[in-house]
């Protein structure tokens, strides 16, 4: 535990093992508890903070230049930040970008998210790699008054993400249509007016850019809440089913998601495509298991190998649980693996157009190597039409 608090410290990050980091607070004041992860992406801090998959987590950004492009409504992946807080090396820089409409600090204050700067993020990242994603308490007080023992106790009292169904907290409350396509110069976001396929997308914490990619691939998208039943899905007479990304323990969300997916697979032959938590939901529905990772994968530079083509894709990832490839049943093939640790990154059914990937092919943020998966989904729907 840290013994001395710098006089200028206005924020404190306390880990459950007693380690304490001091720094300069910005954004909202107060205290929050969460799991701590690190993200290695060099762009996209706004997209990361508004990604529903980060519910229940404080994000350490390993890239130091945070705040340099400000924030703007077009880059939000959902209405407000979902990550509990952020940790950065340097104080946020002044925004310098033609698309910026608000300073990061003001945005965090307005949306109620706590942040700390001036932290040795390299040391913190090493600690996360070594001991696993720790439970933390993050506090911001402009007067610098901190009860460190209480903060450590709060971190130790955090229940963790295992067993938590966070998808139910971030999903939509009612269905809606989506026709906005990917941003393109010079028109920005155009609308899909010539859709070829009707797709039902299950919202476990869906990012807007994933929905835009579906629309850009020719889909008329209807988004349904996480707790949707098989009958409700099939009542829309869809050409395909999409399973979105999302937060929390897949086994907990699977209590209600798995019966729906199995029902759709049993009662129809429509293509199914899953991403991230949707990948894990599909794997559970097919009979596999998921396990908690040591510190997860969070970044936009993760190499993944396609085992069927030999091609290597650089991908964007954000997950703390993974599909246990050893548990995949007969008839389900492993299609992609991480070149960092060999963990599973994709599956497909051998005899049906049903597939999923662990990573984020919508590239928000991240490289666009994997956008072809949306086109593969559309082609599968063409084939069964």
Which domain-ending residue is among 122, 157, 192?
157
- Asked, for residue 67, whether it belongs to a domain, the answer is yes
Check 297, 298, 319, 360 and give the catalytic one: 360
Task: Give the per-residue pLDDT at 3.
Answer: 54
| Same domain? 350 vs 204 | yes
Task: Give the per-residue pLDDT at 2.
Answer: 52
- Asked, for residue 2, whether it belongs to a domain, the answer is no
Instruction: Report residues of the chain scoring pLDDT below 70.
Output: 1-4
| Same domain? 153 vs 174 | no
Residue 145: give the domain boundaries.
11-157
| Same domain? 220 vs 346 | yes
| Same domain? 152 vs 171 | no
Copy the structure tokens of residue 355: 């597939």
Asked if 77 is an active-site residue, the reply is no
Check 12, 213, 276, 345 and give the catalytic one: 276
Which domain-ending residue is among 110, 129, 157?
157
| Same domain? 80 vs 145 | yes
Task: Give the per-residue pLDDT at 227.
Answer: 98
| Same domain? 31 vs 131 | yes
Closest to 347 measured CA to CA, from 303, 269, 299, 285: 285
Interacting residues of 81 by C-beta distance below 8 A, sequence separation 6+: 49, 50, 108, 111, 113
Q: How far is residue 287's CA from residue 300's CA, in Å, rounded to a whole number?
A: 29
Check 35, 77, 313, 362 and give the catalytic one: 362
SS (H, E, C) 230-296: HHHHHCCCCCEEEECCCCCCHHHHHHHHHHHHHHHHHHCCCCEEEECHHHHHHHHHCCCCEEEEEEE
Phi (first) and psi of residue 361, to 5 degrees: -75, -5
Q: Which residue has the tokens 């998808």?
A: 167
Asked if 360 is an active-site residue, the reply is yes
The CATH number given to whatever domain includes residue 261 is 3.40.50.880
| Same domain? 243 vs 224 | yes
- Asked, for residue 266, whether it belongs to a domain, the answer is yes
Q: Per the confidence metrics, is the pTM higher than 0.95? A: yes
Terminal-to-terminal C-alpha distance of the chain = 62
Task: Give the per-residue pLDDT at 204.
Answer: 98
Which domain-ending residue is among 157, 190, 225?
157
């Amino acid at each position: 535990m840290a013994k001395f608090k710098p006089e200028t410290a206005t924020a404190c990050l306390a880990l459950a093992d007693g380690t304490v980091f001091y720094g300069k607070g910005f954004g909202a004041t107060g205290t929050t508890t969460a799991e701590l992860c690190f993200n290695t992406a060099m762009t996209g801090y706004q997209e990361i903070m508004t990604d529903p998959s980060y519910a229940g987590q404080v994000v350490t950004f390993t890239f130091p230049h945070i705040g340099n492009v400000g924030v703007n409504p077009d880059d939000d992946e959902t209405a407000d930040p979902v990550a509990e807080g952020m940790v950065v090396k340097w104080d946020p820089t002044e925004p310098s970008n033609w698309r910026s409409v608000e300073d990061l600090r003001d945005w965090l204050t307005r949306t109620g998210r706590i942040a700390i700067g001036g932290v040795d993020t390299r040391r913190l990242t090493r600690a996360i790699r070594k001991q696993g994603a720790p439970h933390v308490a993050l506090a911001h007080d402009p007067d610098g008054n901190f009860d460190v023992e209480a903060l450590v106790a709060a971190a130790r009292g955090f229940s963790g993400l295992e067993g938590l169904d966070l998808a139910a907290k971030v999903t939509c409350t009612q269905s809606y249509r989506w026709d906005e396509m990917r941003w393109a110069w010079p028109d920005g976001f155009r609308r899909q007016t010539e859709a070829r396929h009707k797709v039902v997308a299950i919202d476990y914490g869906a990012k807007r850019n994933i929905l835009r990619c579906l629309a850009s691939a020719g889909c008329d998208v209807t988004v349904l809440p996480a707790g949707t039943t098989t009958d409700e899905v099939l009542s829309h007479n869809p050409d395909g089913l999409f399973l979105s990304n999302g937060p929390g323990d897949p086994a907990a969300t699977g209590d209600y998601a798995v019966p729906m997916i199995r029902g759709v697979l049993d009662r129809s032959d429509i293509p199914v495509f899953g991403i991230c938590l949707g990948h894990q939901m599909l794997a559970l529905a097919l009979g596999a298991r998921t396990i908690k990772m040591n510190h997860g994968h969070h970044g936009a530079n993760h190499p993944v190998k396609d085992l069927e083509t030999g091609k290597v894709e650089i991908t964007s990832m954000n997950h703390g649980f993974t599909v246990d490839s050893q548990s995949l049943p007969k008839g389900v093939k492993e299609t992609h693996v991480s070149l960092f640790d060999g963990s599973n990154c994709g599956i497909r059914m051998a005899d049906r157009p049903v597939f999923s990937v662990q990573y984020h092919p919508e590239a928000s943020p991240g490289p666009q190597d994997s956008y072809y998966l949306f086109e593969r989904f559309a082609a599968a729907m063409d084939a069964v039409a």
